[in-house]
Every structure is written in structure tokens, then in C-alpha cells.
Structure 1
């Protein structure tokens, strides 16, 4: 079953684009580690929030990705730009009308 991780990241005022740049850098390591989809989004209604939707082959693949040097480096780079407000949820995908 596919694992979904959906979250929100609060960003410091004026830092949203910098966080987006960090999160959207191409990464072949993510695909190799079991990431099926990693989408970053914004909403005009929430200018200091970045939205992230991830699909993984399993919860274990997601957890293991957090140990990748490139992921650790991206997290370290983004952390000073974040406000500390985080939200989200995780779930097992049970189906889709598209597949």
C-alpha cells in the first residue's frame, strides 16, 4: 500500500520562496529511496505557509529517507527560514479512481 505524508510548514515572513527553492531542488535520491511523488504548493490565502504532499512506497521508506545526507542538508538549510508552525497528517492510501 502507498503511504502518504501531507504537511504544512510555517515560514518566516518573506521567506516562502527560499523554502520552496530548497524543497523543489531535483533529487534522484528521493526516487531511489521509494518516493513516488513529492509536490510543493502555496496558497494566496496562506502566504506564510508551504504545503507538501508526499507519496511513498511505505512508511519505512519515508523514515529511511530522513537519514539521507541530502535530505538532512536540506532540512538544516530550511530550518532557520521556518516559523516552527507545522501541521499535517499521514495515512495509507487505499485506492484511487485514477489507477
Structure 2
């Protein structure tokens, strides 16, 4: 699957790329993303390291998980939860996120499924 460069950059930017802060939520509507990212052959661990590199806090990020796909040696699943969609959008302008995008772009082969969700709660999420 081929995707336009702008879409690839936007999808990469949509993934959390730094340690998440857990500020108090302003309302009860959280925002979630779950997405699959395919690394260039043999580059999954290097790409995961870039995504996990804790370069800075991202206000409004309640949590993220980078997981290896057990059936695809080049795929990662990224699950993230935000206090709002606005917080997620604002994170895309952070210098640490922009730097991670630049570092990760050459290692990305493409993207798979991407789901937007509205988390309602769960173990590990910051409480209001």
C-alpha cells in the first residue's frame, strides 16, 4: 500500500513520541488512537526506540503503548489516550515530536489500520 508523503507524516506525528504527562482532564471526553505502523524490513526495533524515546512531556497525553505485532516481524501497534482531541492536535507542533518525525520517517514502510476511539476509562488512565 502506498500512501502520500503528507499523510505518512501526519500519521507518524499522530503517534505519541515522548513520555506522556497526566494533567487533570478538563472534561469527560477523552480521545484515543490505535494504529499499525510497518517498519522497513529489519528496522522495527529501531523505529520502536525512536517512538519510545522520552524526549519531553506532552500535555494532555494520558498514556501510550508501543507493541510488537506477534505475527508480523516488521509491524508495531501504537495505542494512545489523550484528555482531548485538541491536546493531541497541539502535540503535533512540539519540537520533540517534529524531531522524532524526522528521525523516524526513513524507517517507516507504511501504515495499516488506524482507529479513532473515545476512551471511557480503564486501568492505568489518570483519574479526573
Deviation by residue 1:36-62 (Cα, 9 ceiling, x = unmatched): 001100022011111100000000100
1:22 counterpart residue number: 50
Uncovered stretches (5+) of structure 1, i.e. residues with no partner: none
TM-score by length of 1: 0.87
Deviation by residue 1:9-55 (Cα, 9 ceiling, x = unmatched): 1110000010011011124422xx11000110002201111110000
- The whole-number CA distance in structure 2 between the counterparts of 1:66 and 1:3 is 15
Equivalent pairs, count: 96
TM-score by length of 2: 0.69
Q: Does 1:72 align with 2:95?
A: no
Uncovered stretches (5+) of structure 2, i.e. residues with no partner: 1-28
- The whole-number CA distance in structure 2 between the counterparts of 1:28 and 1:83 is 26
Higher relative contact order (CA 8 A, sep 6+): 1
- Tell me which of 54, 60, 67 is aligned to 1:34: 60
Runs of 4+ in 1 over 4 A off after TM superposition: none
1:50 counterpart residue number: 76
2:119 counterpart residue number: 93
Higher strand share: 1
